[in-house]
Each structure stands twice: as C-alpha cells, then as structure tokens.
Amino acid sequence: MSRSVLLCVLGLAAALAYPLLVPNYLVTIGMLVFFTAFIGQSWNIAGGFAGQTSFGHVVFFGTGAYTSTILQVTYGWNPWLAWPVAMAAGGAVGWMIAVLSFRAGLRGSYFALITLAFAEVFRILANSVPFTKGGLGMLIKADPRPLNFQFKDPIWIYYLALLLCIVSLLIAWQLTRSRFGARLVAIRENEDAARALGIDVFAEKVKVLTLSGAMCAAGGTFYAQKYLYIDPGIAFGVDKSVEMLLVSMVGGAGTIFGPLIGSFTLMGINEVTRWLASVVPAFKNVQPLSLIVYGIMLILIVARLPDGLMSLFRRPAAKPPPRHA
Amino acid sequence: MFDPAFLFAGVLNGLLAGGIYVLVAVGLTLIYGVLHIINFAHGSLLMLAMYAVFYLWRLIGIDPYAALPAVIAGAFGFGFVLYRLLIGRYNHGRDENILLITLGLSIVIDNVALLFFGGDTQTIDVPYAGTFVEVGAAFLPLPKIISFGASLVLCAALGLYMARSDMGKAIRAVAKERQGARLVGIDVENVFAVSYGIGIACLGAAACLLMPTYYVTPSSGHAFVLVAFTIVVLGGMGSFAGAAVGGFIIGITESLGGLFLGEQLGQIGISLIFILILLLKPTGLFGSKA
C-alpha cells in the first residue's frame, strides 16, 4: 500500500511540474491525455465497473456540451454556472436511457446497440432542430478571461483537466472500496446471482449510468470551452464513443487507473504515427493510421489481455479481496 | 407533398431499396442465428465489398452485375478465413467480447479503406443508369429494378440451399441445438465458418446490386450498420422471414422519412424504430427469443 501511495504522490508531483518545463504544444498534449482519461473514466464506471458496455456514451458528452453552450450563447449564462446544469442534463439523459433500457431488460450487446441508437437520434436531432443551429454548429465568442471559463495560457486548462482527472480517479477509487462499488462488480460478474443475493439490480444500474452520464457531460462542457465550437458530428458522433471505450478497454476496464493508462498509450501511439507520417511519405494520412493501431489493440486486448495493460503492472494473485467499508 | 402519386413513387422506391437491404440483413441474421454473435463489422465488410466491385469496374471494366459470381465467391472466402483466423477463436464467453472484437475489426477495416482508397465518394457510371421504367405514375431507374429482382432471386436461392442441401440442413441443426448437432457427427466449427462465409457472401452480392445506383466512401459501412441491425431486430434476431419483412419496412420507412421529414431528419425513423422495438418487443416480429 505504501508503495502505491508513494507512486501516486510522485505521479502527481510530475503532473504538476510538467507544464512548467515543456513548450506549449506538449502542455496541450498533456491536457488531452488527462481530458481523455476523464471521459474514459466516465465510460469505465458504467462499462468497466458495472459491466454495462456502451457504444453510445457520446450522447452524454454531447448533451453536456450543447446544454452549456446553448445556455451561454443563447441565454447569456456564465459558463461556470452552466456547467453544473450541463452535468445535471447529462445525468438526466443517463437516467432516462437506463430506466428505459433496463426496464425492458436489455443486457450485454443489446444495451450496447441501443445506446448507439440513442446517440444517433440525438445527433440527427441536433442536426435538425433550430436551437442547436443545426449542422452549422455553435460558436462560443472568444473572450479569454478565467471568469469566462476561457484561458489565454494553456497551462490553466491543463491544470483544470488534471483536476477533473484526479476527481474521476477518486470516484473510481471510492467504487473499489464502497458497498455501491461492490454491488456493481457483483452485477457485472453475474447479474442473476446478484439479484438472488438481494441486490436491487435495476436501481444500481440506473444509479451508475446517471453518475456516468453526469461525469461525461462535464467533459462535454470542458471540450466546448476549450475549442469554443461544437457541432452535431463532434458532439454526438460515434468517434468519441469509441475513444472512451478504447481508453478504458486498452488500459484496463474496471480498474482505477485503466483509463489514464489507456489515454497515455493512445496519445503515445498518436504521436508516434504523427512522427512516422512526417518521415514516411506513404503514411501522410495520419489519422487512419493511428485508428488502425487502436483497432488492432482493441482486438488484441479483448482476445488476449481482458484486464488491459493494467494487468501487466500487477503481479498475479496480488489483488486482495475487497474489504467491507 | 401529399399527392398520392408522389407517395406511390416513394413507397415503390422504398420497396426497391428494401429489396437489397433484405440481402444485407439476411447475412446478419444468419450469422446471429447460427453463431449467436452480433457482427458489428457487417457494415464495414459491406463497404469493403462495394470497393471490390468498384475497383473491378474501374481497373478491369467488369460490369457490377457481371461481377456477381466472382464477388460472392471472394466474399465467402474472405468471411470463411476471417472466421477461422479471428472470430472463431473468441466466439465463446461473454457476448460483449465478440461485439468488441468485431467493433475493433470495423475500425481497422474503415481506416484501412480510408488509407488506401482515400476519402472521396466513388460511383460507377453504368450505361443503363439513366434508363427509367414507368410503373403507374412513377418512374423508376432500371438498375434499381434489376437489383431488386436479383436480390429476391438470390434470397430464394439461399432459402432453397438452406432447406435442401446437406450443408443447409447442418446449419439449421447447429442453429437449433449445437450440442445435439455435434453428437450426430456434424463438424460444428466448420458449420460456423461456412455460415459466417455465407453471411459475408450475402454482403458481396448486396455490394454488386448496390453499386450501379449507390456510391461508396470509407464511411459507408457506418451508414449501413444501424440499418442492418434495425431490420434484423425488427424482424426478430435469427429469423429469415423477419429479415425479409423488416427489410421492406425499413426501405419504405427510409424513403418516406426522407420525403416527409427531409434529408436530415428523415434518418431518425430508423433509429427510433430500432429503439422502440428493443424497448417494447425485443423478440421482433418473427423472433422466438431475444
């Protein structure tokens, strides 16, 4: 235990010092690592800990991004005030999808597919209704003041992403030691057995998807404030859903540090392919190349390393049984 | 807008598109019915087959319809090998696992296509593309009618194969009761691989029938995957009759949705049907179990 505490303190110190030592370009990459780890963790809480694999998590991300952006652009709200409202909206969408799907008894692949369809419905709606400005997308007026949730120096948005990531790690850590978390793991391992033990499976699954939705929506607002632009393809496109799923699966679904390790790995692959593309002219198209590597990694992880890269760091059988909180 | 002639043309167009969707959905439902896996790479594999048809035409000048036998055979071989090398090895355990593996496969296929074929939209200019046939008050493009007929013939042939041939009987036996099938001496792994191959061969056929009137881009698979799942869920997972009826319903829904709600909002019908069926009647119209 003391060794892992030491590692966490060292890691935190490194993360805090990092942006002071490197050029702005690398600060932004660091920010993306922590941001992706954060939204990945929101997927991991539902998909990893509770075993509710989702293919459409972007629906929460987009709900958060659009809620805060509409409140800000159309109604003149301060983005910091709009942030909790966006989270509440994401939580509400998570609650709605959970109640509908779990009431209907959807499990496994069927749940994954219905979340994909929900994201698709939201994408088409965002493309069509007037208050999202349709396919044109929404621009947030640049006004870089901290009070406005916009920062001139990338270092502040980096620290904010780091803070979000730490909060998400703490939430995941709580899940490993609380009764709520233990119930989720029981549901993941065997839903019928969990029900037989007296766990209210439906209520727990609704709770976890609401929490996950609210977290993911917080990421949506963060993204909109960072790039000051949002459109239906970004907000509800399948790419972000896959990204959240990938970082968790690659790092280790259902583990505290899985999404962070996955996010580091994917960003590393991204940078390596970017470098390859600059050296080998045949690879000039960077994005498909890194996605091909991601896809192969996903297949290999599911097939060969179901606990993700995390399991490489852990000696077998070193995991103590969960204690009662 | 509510002119009956207009509506009639919309329904007819939807029926024609639905006829090809049936072929795509039959492949998906066969794979589900026999292997009990959800093949998320279905759309991407269709896209790949469409590129094969495109390049056969572009490089060697083979008409898409003339390419049918070759593409069907090639797609079958591709599916068979893919099953042997990848899908079959992980076709056990949690059902999400194979879903994730086929998701990974679709990511790889989509981006390999993007890398090698580029992001441009590709179409085939067949000489008969501009020929129209008058049906009642509607004018229908000739290639759509040919494709519709060919799709029905191929579905009927597949149905006959499943009903009469030894392999067809073995496939149906495995779909019903794989332990029992193994006990009577059926090579179940081989049946799995053949079934997956046939499912992908259906995509090869659909690709040949689609290309004279559709276009292909590396993201085409995306557009088709939800359509195919909706048809299969609507008809009932694993049901052939369901896939046929579902294909026509979805074809017409898409056509009328586009007509009344416009290009953008019109697509919502398919996703909504998918959600509603899963929520209200997950066994679909013809399915026996979810």
Q: Is the pLDDT of residue A320 over 60?
A: no
The average pLDDT across A249-263 equals 93
Q: Does B89 touch chain A (CB under 8 A)?
A: yes
Q: How confident is the model at residue B258 (pLDDT cuts 50, 70, 90)?
A: confident
The total of other beta-carbon atoms located within 10 Å of residue A93's CB is 24
User: Chain B residues with CB inside 8 Å of A103's CB?
Assistant: 279
User: Chain A residues with CB inside 8 Å of B94's CB?
Assistant: 108
B 121-140 residues with CB below 8 A of A?
A: none
pLDDT, residue B260, reads 85
CA distance A275 to chain B (A): 17
Nearest Cβ partner of A108 from B89, B90, B95? B95
The answer to whether position A22 is within a domain reads no
pLDDT tens, B201-229?
A: 999 999 999 999 889 999 888 888 889 99
User: Chain B residues with CB inside 8 Å of A295's CB?
Assistant: 104-108, 111
Nearest Cβ partner of A110 from B111, B272, B278? B278
pLDDT, residue A288, reads 84
Nearest Cβ partner of B282 from A104, A124, A294? A104
Q: How confident is the model at residue A31 (pLDDT cuts 50, 70, 90)?
A: very high
Do A104 and B268 lie within an 8 Å CB cutoff? no
Do A53 and B111 lie within an 8 Å CB cutoff? no
| The dihedral sign for the CA sequence B126, B129, B130, B131 | positive
- The chain-wide mean pLDDT, for chain A, equals 90
The answer to whether position A174 is within a domain reads yes
The answer to whether position A163 is within a domain reads yes
Mutation test of the interface with chain B: which of A110, A122, A189, choosing the one with the most B Cβ atoms within 10 A? A110
Q: Is the pLDDT of residue A318 over 50?
A: no
pLDDT tens, B108-125?
A: 999 999 988 988 899 988
Do B282 and A106 lie within an 8 Å CB cutoff? yes
Q: How many residues does chain A have?
A: 325
User: Chain A residues with CB inside 8 Å of B38's CB?
Assistant: 109, 113
The average pLDDT across B230-243 equals 88
pLDDT tens, B65-86?
A: 999 999 999 999 999 999 999 8
In A, minimum Cα distance to B40 occurs at A113
pLDDT tens, B124-149?
A: 888 887 788 887 777 888 888 999 99
Q: Quick one: how far is CA A10 from the chain centroid?
A: 24
CA distance B34 to chain A (A): 16
The ipTM assigned to this model is 0.89
Nearest Cβ partner of B108 from A110, A135, A295? A295
Tell me how far CA of residue A155 lies from CA of A15, A29, A31, B156, in angstroms: 12, 11, 9, 65
The average pLDDT across B228-242 equals 89
Q: How confident is the model at residue A325 (pLDDT cuts 50, 70, 90)?
A: very low
The average pLDDT across A237-256 equals 92
CA distance A122 to chain B (A): 9
Transcribe A210-224 into DSSP letters. HHHHHHHHHHHHHHH
Total count of domains within chain A = 1
The answer to whether position A208 is within a domain reads yes
In A, minimum Cα distance to B111 occurs at A288
* Lowest pLDDT segment from A74-78, B163-167, B173-177, B263-267: B263-267
Mutation test of the interface with chain B: which of A106, A120, A136, choosing the one with the most B Cβ atoms within 10 A? A120
**Angle, to 10 degrees, between the axis of helix B220-235 and the axis of helix A108-128?**
120
The average pLDDT across A225-243 equals 93
d(CA A293, CA A269): 8
Q: How confident is the model at residue A210 (pLDDT cuts 50, 70, 90)?
A: very high
Nearest Cβ partner of B101 from A120, A134, A299? A299
Question: Residue A194: which domain range?
Answer: 29-237
CA distance B262 to chain A (A): 9
Q: Which helix (H) or strand (E) holds A190?
A: none
Q: How confident is the model at residue B91 (pLDDT cuts 50, 70, 90)?
A: low
Q: Which helix (H) or strand (E) holds A138?
A: strand A138-139
A209, two tokens:
């998807």
The total of other beta-carbon atoms located within 10 Å of residue B52's CB is 21
pLDDT over 90 for what percent of chain B? 53
User: Chain B residues with CB inside 8 Å of A105's CB?
Assistant: 282, 290
**Rounded to the nearest 10 degrees, how much is the dihedral formed by the CA atoms of A107, A108, A110, A112?**
120
The answer to whether position A304 is within a domain reads no
pLDDT tens, A141-150?
A: 988 888 889 9
Q: Does B278 touch chain A (CB under 8 A)?
A: yes
d(CA A252, CA A247): 8
pLDDT, residue A322, reads 56
Do A104 and B90 lie within an 8 Å CB cutoff? no
Do B103 and A298 lie within an 8 Å CB cutoff? yes
CA distance A35 to chain B (A): 22
pLDDT over 90 for what percent of chain A? 72
DSSP label at residue A139:
E
Do A295 and B275 lie within an 8 Å CB cutoff? no
pLDDT tens, A278-314?
A: 887 766 667 788 889 999 999 998 888 878 888 887 6
Q: Does B276 touch chain A (CB under 8 A)?
A: no
**Cβ atoms A80, A286 nearer than 8 A:** no
d(CA A270, CA A5): 30
The answer to whether position A274 is within a domain reads no
A5, two tokens:
């505490």
Q: Which phi-psi region, left, alpha or beta, contains residue A190 (left: φ > 0; alpha: ψ -120 to 50)? A: beta
Transcribe A273-293 into DSSP letters. HHHHHHH-GGG--HHHHHHHH
DSSP label at residue B122:
E
pLDDT, residue A156, reads 93
Q: Does B7 touch chain A (CB under 8 A)?
A: no
B222, two tokens:
């995306």
Q: How many residues does chain B have?
A: 290
In B, minimum Cα distance to A112 occurs at B96
Q: How confident is the model at residue B27 (pLDDT cuts 50, 70, 90)?
A: very high
Do B279 and A101 lie within an 8 Å CB cutoff? yes
Transcribe A140-173 into DSSP letters. PPP---GGGT--SSHHHHHHHHHHHHHHHHHHHH
Mutation test of the interface with chain A: which of B28, B91, B98, B103, choosing the one with the most A Cβ atoms within 10 A? B103
DSSP label at residue B87:
G
Q: How confident is the model at residue B1 (pLDDT cuts 50, 70, 90)?
A: low
Q: How confident is the model at residue B290 (pLDDT cuts 50, 70, 90)?
A: very low
The answer to whether position A13 is within a domain reads no
In A, minimum Cα distance to B88 occurs at A303
- The chain-wide mean pLDDT, for chain B, equals 89
The average pLDDT across B156-180 equals 91
Do A128 and B262 lie within an 8 Å CB cutoff? yes
User: Chain A residues with CB inside 8 Å of B97's CB?
Assistant: 302, 306
